[in-house]
Structure 1
Amino acid sequence: MFLTSRRVIIVVFVSVVVLLVLAPDVQAAVTGACSNCHTMHNSQDGSVLDATVNDTLLVSSCIGCHSSSGSETIVNFGPTRIPIVFNTTGYPTKPLAGGNFYDVAAAGGNIDSHGHNVYGISNQDSDLDHAPLDLWGGGCTNSCHASLAMPKSSMTDTQIDGCKICHQKYKHHGTDIAEGSMETEESGWYRFLGGHDARYGGGIVMLTSYVAGIEDADWEQDPTLGHNRYQGAVTNHNDNVLLQTTHSISAFCTGCHAQAHMNTEDAASGVWLRHPTMIRLPTTGEFADYNPETDYDASVPVGWLDPTTPTRSDAVVTCLSCHLVHGSQYPDMLRWDYSAMTAGGGDNETGCFKCHSSKDS
C-alpha cells in the first residue's frame, strides 16, 4: 500500500534503522505523495520528524533514504524504486553498480581501504587525512579533497554531506528520459554526478562539469539483464578541464585523485609508471579475448567514446574497470581480490585476467 500519512512515516522512521523514502526512479522524476519525502513543519503530534536539517524540507538525508537494515538493494516504496547503497547488517549478495558502503562503515568494521569514508556512514580514514594521490595534499580549505567524512570547519552547526560532494547534480523531480538514452541536464546528468561551480572574480565557471552516460534500469542489480554505459575518454591526464571537455567518469575521479594516473607513461622509456586509464582497450594480443561490445562483463566494465553506439574499437579503460566507487569487499575498493590474481594459475578469466587473458595460460 502506498503510504501517504505523516503518522505512518514517523512509525517507519522510529522502527527501522533508516528511513527508506526518497530516491530517483529509473527516470529522474519521483512520483507519489509529497509527504513521503517532504514535511512542511517537520512535526507530527508534537514530535519532531527529523532533528537534523535537510535541504528542501526533506524528512531524511541521502543516507537515510538510500540505506536499509535488510538485504535488498532495491526497495519499492509505492511507485518509487529506491536504490540502496548501504546495507547496515551485511554486504549484500546483489550490490548495485557502485558497490556498497557496508565494509567501510562503522557497522561493518571500519575497514578504511574497502570504500570511501562518507560522513554519516563511516569515521574519517585512520591512515589518510586527505584524498590519496590528489594535487593539493589536502590543502584546499574546507574541501572534499580533505575528507568526505570530515566536518566542515567553517560551518559550526552542520557537516559536509559526503554524498552530495559527488552527487551534486541531483534532480529527483527532473525530466524523465527514455530508457537507454543519455542523461541530460534536465534529468540531473548521469547518476547526478558533476563538479561544483567555481567562482572566479565574481564570475561562475565550470557549469559544464558533469558526467555523461546511460543508466541501467536496475542499476546493475542483475547485470545479465543490462548494464550501465559509461562515458569514456582518451585524453591527456594533465588537462585541468578534463571533466568539462570529456564528461567521462574517469575525469570525474581525477577531480580528487589526479595523480593516480597523471603522467602514466615515461616519455623517455615508454614504460608505464601506473596502470593506465583513459586509453582504448587494445584489440590485439592478449586483450583480443575480451570483447565488451558483444560479451560485456559488468565485473570488468569499460567506458565508451560514444555510449549510444558502443563499438569494440572505442572501448576505453576507466577507473571503474578495477574499482567500485562506493565500497567493495576487497582492499583498495577493488572489484576482486588482487592478492588472489596469480599468473599462470590455470584457466582464470576473472579480475586482471579478463583483459590480460594470456597471463594465466
Structure 2
Amino acid sequence: MLKLHEFIENINKTQYKGKILEHEPIAPRTTMKVGGTAALLLSPSDENSICIAVSLLKAMELPWFILGGGSNVIAPDGELDAVVISTEELDSIEISEKNDEFTLIKCGAGTKTETLVDFCTENGISGLETFAGLPGTVGGAAFMNARCYGKEVSQVLHSARFLEFDPMQKNTEFHDNFIERHLKMYHNTQMGGDWAYKNSPFMQNHRFITSLTFKADRIDSDNKVRIGLECAGYIKDREDKGHFKAPSAGSVFKNDRSFGEPSGVLIDKAGLKGTEVGGAQVAPWHGNIIINRGDASSSDIKALVKTVQERVKNNTGFMLEPEIIFAEQNLC
C-alpha cells in the first residue's frame, strides 16, 4: 500500500492513542483461525482515536475494515491490502443506571459477549442469559443482530453510540471537528423496521459502533445462582451441538424462514455433512457449520461455501445466503 507509511506518519502527529501494527497476523484474531496478515492494524484505545483514524483514512482514501471478535469473519490468504481497525481496546463495562425496574449496562464495542454475561451474573442481573457462550464482541453481536435461543440482541439493546460515515464521499480533508459532525447516538425503539432477522440498522448505513448500552432486569443478588446455572445450561447446549469442537465461524448461512427449513437441514438433506475442500470441512455433526481441520485456507472455505450453495440450489432451487463475512469483500 503506497500511502501506508505516509498514513503512519500523519496519525502519529495527531492525538491518536492505541496500537499501530504493521503486517499483523489476522488468523489468531478470528475464531476460524485462517488468513494472512493486515498491511496495518490499528487498535484505538478510545472513541476519539477511532474518529481520528477514520477521518484520516477517508482523507487519504485508504480502504479499511472493522474487526471485532472475529467470530463471523474470514480473513483472506496472504496480506489484506487495507487498514484493519480492531475494537479490542474498547472493552469497558459498567452499570450506567439502576432502579427497581431495570438496569442499564454500558459497554465498549470491543467488550466480549461472555464478559457482559459474566458481569450480569456476578451482579445478579437477569435478561442476557441466552447469550452465554456466544463468541465475539457485543459490537459484533449488535451489528449482526445475533439471535440466541429465541432472543435477539435488538430485544435487549437500549442505545448505541456510533460513528457515521459516507463511503461515497472521497477526498475529504482531515479535520478536528470530525467527532462532532459524525459521532451520533442511536436509541432503540424497535420501531420503523430498523431490525430484522440477522439484520440491524448498523449494516447498510455505514455506522461504526463505539459503545452500547443494554437494558436488563433489576439487580437482585439472590438471583446469582439461578442466573449462573441458566448460563451454564446454554453453554453446555452449545458444547453438545459441537460449536466448540473445532475452529469455525459459527453458522455459515442465514436461515430463510419463508423457505420453511433451516439451512442446516437443507445442507444435511443434500448429503453434504463431512464434505471437504482442502483443510475446510462441513462439520459432520452440523450442516451449517464449516470447520478448520487444522490447515484450512480462506480459499478452501470460499470453495466449500460455493460447493454447498450449488448443491443445495440444485436440490431445492434455493440459494443459501452466507452469514459469514469475507473481509476483502467488505472493505469501507
- Where relative contact order (Cα < 8 A, 6+ residues apart) is larger, the structure is 2
Q: Give me the TM-score of the superposition, normalised by structure 2.
A: 0.27
Structure with the higher helix share, 1 or 2:
2
